[in-house]
Amino acid sequence: SLVILDFGSQYTRLIARRVRELRAYSVILPGTAPLERVLAEKPQALILSGGPSSVFDPQAPRPDPRVLELGLPVLGICYGMQYLAQHFGGRVERGGRREYGKALLLEAKGPLFRGLTPPLQVWMSHSDYVAELPPGFTSVARTEENPVAALMSEDGRYLGVQFHPEVRHTPEGMAMLENFLELAGVRRDWTPEHTLERLVQEVRARVGKDRVLLAVSGGVDSSTLALLLAKSGVDHLAVFVDHGLLRQGEREGVEGALRALGVNLRVVEAKERFLKALKGVEDPEEKRRIIGRTFVEVFEEVARKEGPFRFLAQGTLYPDVIESAGSEHAAKIKSHHNVGGLPEDLSFELLEPFRTLFKDEVRALALLLGLPEPLRLRHPFPGPGLAVRVLGEVTEEKLSILRQADAIFTEVLWEEGLYHQVDQALAVLLPVRSVGVVGDERHYGYVVALRAVTTEDFMTADWARLPLEALDKAARRITREVPEVGRVVYDLTSKPPATIEWE
């Protein structure tokens, strides 16, 4: 594997993804991980990430020095390179020549740049720089500003780049990372087929003859997980709770696809129960709490009735794992729900086969496992469903209006070839009415807001510049086909300051 020691760069996760795209298995560990922890990953090479610290700061995170003595090939990026320079006896200096944004490598030589011809565009973001090379190191790239934009030790084992090869603004960055993997001899067998085979083995070995329970939501992670369990041939029960807050055709779609692929699926009809619990409730957080709680109750009833189960399977992904290990200080913006709140006496062992995977890797597995495209490539959908898109009190009538409007918007995006150009698209039913005319009649109708965003990670998002013709088509169809809707508006707010959902 390739171990990435994380010193807090916003790009660390991107490094891991790029390496995986190059079909090498990568793991992120805290920058200060002790030797034993690093060795447990059987590393063939290391990458030291960038980070906000300066090597001058006595508090700056540093790798366990024994890790650098393993004799493994090491690539330091930004802070990682500065650390290497300082560690091996070079001199790093502060400020002065701050480079931020695009820069050009005027010269670039040696194995890291094999096959590449300068000038090469790269992305810089630093203020410290290497003023003096450590003994035995040479500069292998320079920009106009910076004579040491990349460095290498005599034996070629230690390499550093001041810029970020992992970002798209370094167009040849993938080639550089690939050169590093090649010269480091990192195994390149991380294919979806291989991953699937490994996961099937792992699930079989861990579960044995015991039973596994899981909740499916219709999202790609839980659906793929259900398929993995079916493929592994373990005794499983997948529970799909129809809370009545689903989109048009959603339940049928999930049911059909999963059953056809051998999943043992139980659909629980709980529409009445959820609507009753939500009656008269307007506060968004209160709605989420009620839905979360009711979901757990329903799930729990199935678990007790159909049990015992030894395992509870969850589609936890690698970013969740990194996140919960990392940022303890992340502010609570919205309470997202999952099946975390089960009572103590229903104690399960957690089975999380996707803990090491990124979303696109789960999608690749889904393809191998035969999950139909509309489910596999679908935009994310929140657990509380349409309840957080019907602003204010949720009623059956409002849900029905929203469901139709949402289906039309989605259909238009598919027809216009726009669905995959945005990362999430949705319709929201506002709790106000507005006046219009239909024929000669005054019409007092609902307002539907359409929202579409582009985003890398859903933490920040930009509103999508959809073609006006597409918006026009959606608005016309919605007002024509859903008579309760009198007006359609488009949301022009990015995140921040708004969130993607309206509640």
The reply to whether 384 sits near ligand XMP by the rule CB under 6 A is: yes
How many angstroms separate the most distant Cα atoms in the chain?
87
The reply to whether 323 sits near ligand XMP by the rule CB under 6 A is: no
Comparing CB distances to ligand XMP, the nearer of 4 and 426 is: 426
- The answer to whether residue 236 is catalytic is no
The reply to whether 334 sits near ligand XMP by the rule CB under 6 A is: yes
User: Nearest approach, Cβ of 318 to ligand XMP (angstroms)?
Assistant: 17
User: Nearest approach, Cβ of 309 to ligand XMP (angstroms)?
Assistant: 23
- DSSP for 159-217 reads EEESS-TTSTTSTTHHHHHHHHHHHHT------HHHHHHHHHHHHHHHHTTSEEEEE--
**Which of the stretches 42-50, 229-237, 378-386, 470-478 binds ligand XMP when contact is defined by CB under 6 A?**
378-386
- 390's CB contacts (< 8 A; 6+ apart) are 398, 399, 402, 428, 429
Q: What's the N-to-C CA distance of the chain in angstroms? A: 42
> Which tokens in the block code for residue 434?
């507005």
**Which of the stretches 59-67, 143-151, 320-328, 376-384 binds ligand XMP when contact is defined by CB under 6 A?**
376-384
Q: Which of residues 433-492 bind ligand XMP (CB under 6 A)?
A: 458
String of contacts with ligand XMP for each residue 57-86, x by CB under 6 A = ------------------------------
Catalytic member of 166, 172, 178, 250: 166
The reply to whether 374 sits near ligand XMP by the rule CB under 6 A is: no
User: Nearest approach, Cβ of 451 to ligand XMP (angstroms)?
Assistant: 10
- 485's CB contacts (< 8 A; 6+ apart) are 401, 405, 445, 446, 447, 448, 478, 479
Starting from the edge strand earliest in sequence, which strands make up the sheet with 265-269, in order?
265-269, 235-242, 211-215, 311-313, 349-351
**CA 204 from centre of chain:** 27
Query: Among residues 380, 431, 483, 496, which is the contact residue for ligand XMP, using CB under 6 A?
Result: 380
The reply to whether 501 sits near ligand XMP by the rule CB under 6 A is: yes
**Which of the stretches 6-14, 18-26, 330-338, 390-398 binds ligand XMP when contact is defined by CB under 6 A?**
330-338
Tell me the C-alpha distance between 322 and 26, whole Å. 13
- The answer to whether residue 99 is catalytic is no
Classify 20 as helix, strand or coil. Answer: helix
The reply to whether 358 sits near ligand XMP by the rule CB under 6 A is: no
The reply to whether 192 sits near ligand XMP by the rule CB under 6 A is: no
The count of chain residues that interact with ligand XMP, using the rule CB under 6 A, is: 15
Closest CA to 271 of 295, 303, 302, 305: 295
Comparing CB distances to ligand XMP, the nearer of 89 and 496 is: 496
Query: Among residues 90, 383, 445, 486, which is the contact residue for ligand XMP, using CB under 6 A?
Result: 383
Q: Is 200 left (phi over 0), alpha (psi -120 to 50) or beta?
A: alpha
- The answer to whether residue 415 is catalytic is no
Comparing CB distances to ligand XMP, the nearer of 336 and 465 is: 336
Q: Which residues pair with 77 in a beta bridge?
A: 161
Comparing CB distances to ligand XMP, the nearer of 198 and 359 is: 359
The H-assigned helical ranges of 330-453 are 359-369, 373-376, 396-415
The reply to whether 337 sits near ligand XMP by the rule CB under 6 A is: yes
- 479's CB contacts (< 8 A; 6+ apart) are 445, 485, 486, 487, 488
**Which of the stretches 9-17, 294-302, 344-352, 494-502 binds ligand XMP when contact is defined by CB under 6 A?**
494-502
Report residue 266: phi and psi, to 5°.
-120, 120
String of contacts with ligand XMP for each residue 385-424, x by CB under 6 A = ---------------------------------------x
The reply to whether 289 sits near ligand XMP by the rule CB under 6 A is: no
Catalytic member of 99, 126, 164, 503: 164
Tell me the C-alpha distance between 399 and 421, whole Å. 27
Nearest-Å Rg of the Cα atoms of the chain is: 26
User: Nearest approach, Cβ of 293 to ligand XMP (angstroms)?
Assistant: 13
Please identify every residue annotated as catalytic: 78, 164, 166
* Binding residues for ligand XMP (CB under 6 A): 288, 333-334, 336-337, 380, 382-384, 424, 458, 495, 499-501
